[in-house]
Structure 1
Amino acid sequence: MKALVLEEKGVLALRDIDLPLAVGASELKIKIHTVGVCGSDVHYYTHGAIGPYVLREPMVLGHEAAGTVIEVGSAVSGFKVGDRVCMEPGIPDLSSRASKLGIYNVDPSVRFWATPPIHGVLTSEVVHPAAFTYKLPDNVSFAEGAMVEPFAIGMQAAARARIAPGDVAAVIGSGPIGIMVALAALAGGCSRVFISDFSAPKLAIAAQYSGITPVNIGEESFAEVIARETNGWGADVVFEASGSPKAYDGIFDLVRPGGAIVMVGLPVDKVSFDVAGAISKEIRIETVFRYANIFDRALQLIASGKVDLNPLITETFAFDKSIEAFERAAAGNPSDVKLQILLGDAAV
């Protein structure tokens, strides 16, 4: 099959590759329709590694996907050929201690698409466990189905925050994950969400959503805006979604006493952390690594119409333009939020 292969750092090829496609009893074969370009895919392309995950051999990219079932394993019930689906890309060892604790996202043996050495799904067909595959409701398009994966990260962040109805949230970073965190926080009960960035185009996209207030930190202090809008009290929860080490400078000035900071972005470099600032306010600190037991809920929220992710899809590329899509994503166009690659026909 033809696939988008990361041959080595900085080298992409659209070429044929042999991938295992035998369908086990509890698995489905799925024809891929739409795949989103994720920041982690781009990071492997530009850097060849993310933390301990190092590219050592050619790897197919892509993990945000939706498609159509074309074969059903003998022991699978609830699915049939022709079902439109999206897929949770991490396959844990269900007998592991992490899985038994309900935190399979941190299972050391999890097999996650497009994380070395596991191939991703920017190819025509894949085989995936039925247990981690979800039917798309009729009103959810393939494009939206491919957005469930990144939105699940926002949902995980909102769940970790333990939002109470009426809370005020601050989000650092208005990239795809930052905006999805903001939307999940609103859906989780926040009355207002303030989101910061240097990029005016990205902030303008975030501003389309009722309840989200953009703050351009190239023009004004985020801490001063939060203080002004909360009568000096601070945000109930602060989400760090930029992955920038500089975001931690003064982060405790944003949060109220007894509030929470949720770390979503993954810095490449070490950060400076004000321990005294955290202790003096008794700040609760939470971390997010992917998601667990929340993928289907993210899909349900999208299907409900309460969260519309379509404004975040900037452009869709044909499969034969996949390298062009990655080159554009790596360039960091400030007006781009989510790029997608279309492998199926244009019909939803």
Structure 2
Amino acid sequence: MKEQLPAMMKAAVMTKPGTIVMEERPVPQVGANEVLIKVMAVGVCGSDVHYFENGRIGRYVVEKPIILGHECAGIIAAVGASVTNVSLGDRVAIEPGVTCGHCQACKEGRYNLCPDVQFLATPPVDGAFVQYMKIRADMVFAIPDHLSFEAAALVEPFSVGIHAAKRCSLQPGSTVAIMGMGPVGLMAVAAAKSFGASRIIVTDLEQVRLDAAKRLGATDVINVKEEDAVQRIKEMTDGLGVDAAWETAGNARALQSALYSLRRGGKLVIVGLPAQDEIPLNVPFMADNEIDIYGVFRYANTYPTGIKFLAGDGIDAMALITDRYPLEQTQDALERAIHNKSGSLKVMVYPNEVL
């Protein structure tokens, strides 16, 4: 039986950096190519935290009230007249970047580089900390019944790792070092495992994150408060270094460590965005060792693969979720992510569930 849609919904609105207020807003009306989603789970991302704390990320500046949240999953609550890929009641993961489909980047299949992308929770576009949201229908992907909404929301950060693996053509049997075990780094571990890496060495400052990395497939962990990452990686690889090193934290020192941990002919993958624009890197080292360097910006064509991997038995994505909040406590959820880095991995918000 079709669920009767309400006229109004709750939304957690950031009126200014550091302040989230609950507002009543009209439930969106869908166009012909759009779907309405009853949002069931939203992960708190590092970018949400950054906007909440600072009001900007690089050239993206919060200039008016905005709804944060872009790692999301839910249930199709209404479909536009031209929609054929999903049906009413389908459980779906939501890809948050709506691209133009017409520019050179889109036509090349690298739509993550589309200059006109409308990305949820990137100013001025509102995000997913709402009970209902609409989006173009090609941005939603049906999930199997056994995959939880939380895991489906994690397809978004998981996609970054999948894209990183694709960018550097990660091969089965490869050795990989991943610097930084925040949520993106942890899902990058799962991606490297899914692509068949035989040895996955990870670094971080927090033991709880290193322990989580082991659960997701890391073979070796290095606490950089206690050990020198480059020295240990060289020891672990008989002095050779790893085939690929991914820096996921946006940390200048970690990026330099990633470079020096590579074997000759290795691949440096830059995932994290550092606060500073310029970081000193050893150019003679890169030239002499023929290091390949790959930038990673979001992802493209990853959601079907991500859902397939997470729906299998090899990844315990739910191990990442440490904190759960209802929509009314979105501000508490963001503050938890900021202040509990030694204990929290992934903070989840539930817009339509009473916890």
Smaller-chain TM-score bracket: over 0.9
Which residue number corresponds to residue 106 of structure 1?
113
- State which of 294, 317, 320 in structure 2 corresponds to 1:312: 320
Check if 1:273 corresponds to 2:281. Answer: yes
Query: Residues 151-300 of structure 1: matches in 2 within 5 Å?
Result: 151-269=158-276, 270-300=278-308
Check if 1:70 corresponds to 2:77. Answer: yes
Q: CA deviation digits over 1:112-163, x for unaligned, max 9?
A: 0000000001111111111110111011011111111111111111111211
Give the drift of 1:325. 0.5
Is the contact made by 2:105 and 2:111 (CA closer than 8 Å) also made in structure 1?
A: yes
Is the contact made by 2:96 and 2:120 (CA closer than 8 Å) also made in structure 1?
A: yes
Is the contact made by 2:161 and 2:189 (CA closer than 8 Å) also made in structure 1?
A: yes
Check if 1:301 corresponds to 2:309. Answer: yes
Is the contact made by 1:14 and 1:323 (CA closer than 8 Å) also made in structure 2?
A: no
TM-score, normalization by structure 1:
0.96
Give the drift of 1:80. 1.8
Alignment partners' CA distance in 2, 1:207 and 1:149: 21
Alpha-carbon RMSD across the aligned residues, in angstroms, is 1.5
- State which of 6, 9, 12 in structure 1 corresponds to 2:20: 12
Which residue number corresponds to residue 116 of structure 1?
123
Alignment partners' CA distance in 1, 2:186 and 2:238: 25
Which residue number corresponds to residue 6 of structure 2?
none
Alignment partners' CA distance in 2, 1:338 and 1:17: 27
Q: Select between 254-263 and 9-18 the one with higher mean Cα deviation.
A: 9-18
Which residue number corresponds to residue 5 of structure 2?
none
Distance 1:251 1:146, change over 3 A: closer
Which residue number corresponds to residue 137 of structure 1?
144
Alignment partners' CA distance in 2, 1:113 and 1:70: 19
Is the contact made by 1:171 and 1:195 (CA closer than 8 Å) also made in structure 2?
A: yes
Q: Quick one: which amino acid aligns to residue 289 of structure 1?
A: F
Q: Quick one: which amino acid aligns to residue 157 of structure 1?
A: A
Give the drift of 1:210. 4.1
Is the contact made by 1:191 and 1:211 (CA closer than 8 Å) also made in structure 2?
A: no
Alignment partners' CA distance in 1, 2:293 and 2:101: 28
Identity of aligned residues (%): 36
Alignment partners' CA distance in 2, 1:280 and 1:78: 50
Q: Quick one: which amino acid aligns to residue 222 of structure 1?
A: A
Give the drift of 1:189. 1.6
Q: CA deviation digits over 1:140-196, x for unaligned, max 9?
A: 011111111111111111111211221100000011111111111111121010000
Alignment partners' CA distance in 2, 1:37 and 1:250: 28
SS at structure 1 position matched to 2:332: helix
Give the drift of 1:277. 1.7
Alignment partners' CA distance in 2, 1:31 and 1:111: 20
Distance 1:333 1:78, change over 3 A: same
Is the contact made by 1:237 and 1:259 (CA closer than 8 Å) also made in structure 2?
A: yes
Q: CA deviation digits over 1:205-236, x for unaligned, max 9?
A: 21224443111011111111111111111000
Q: Select between 273-282 and 107-116 the one with higher mean Cα deviation.
A: 273-282
Give the drift of 1:346. 6.7
SS at structure 1 position matched to 2:306: helix
Check if 1:338 corresponds to 2:346. Answer: yes
Q: Select between 228-237 and 205-214 the one with higher mean Cα deviation.
A: 205-214
Alignment partners' CA distance in 2, 1:76 and 1:16: 28
Alignment partners' CA distance in 2, 1:209 and 1:66: 21
Give the drift of 1:197. 0.8
Alignment partners' CA distance in 2, 1:214 and 1:314: 20
Is the contact made by 1:172 and 1:196 (CA closer than 8 Å) also made in structure 2?
A: yes
The gaps in structure 1 that reach 5 residues or longer are: none
Q: Quick one: which amino acid aligns to residue 87 of structure 1?
A: I
Is the contact made by 2:190 and 2:217 (CA closer than 8 Å) also made in structure 1?
A: no
The gaps in structure 2 that reach 5 residues or longer are: 1-8
Q: CA deviation digits over 1:270-323, x for unaligned, max 9?
A: 322221221111100001111001112111111122222110111111111111
Give the drift of 1:16. 2.5
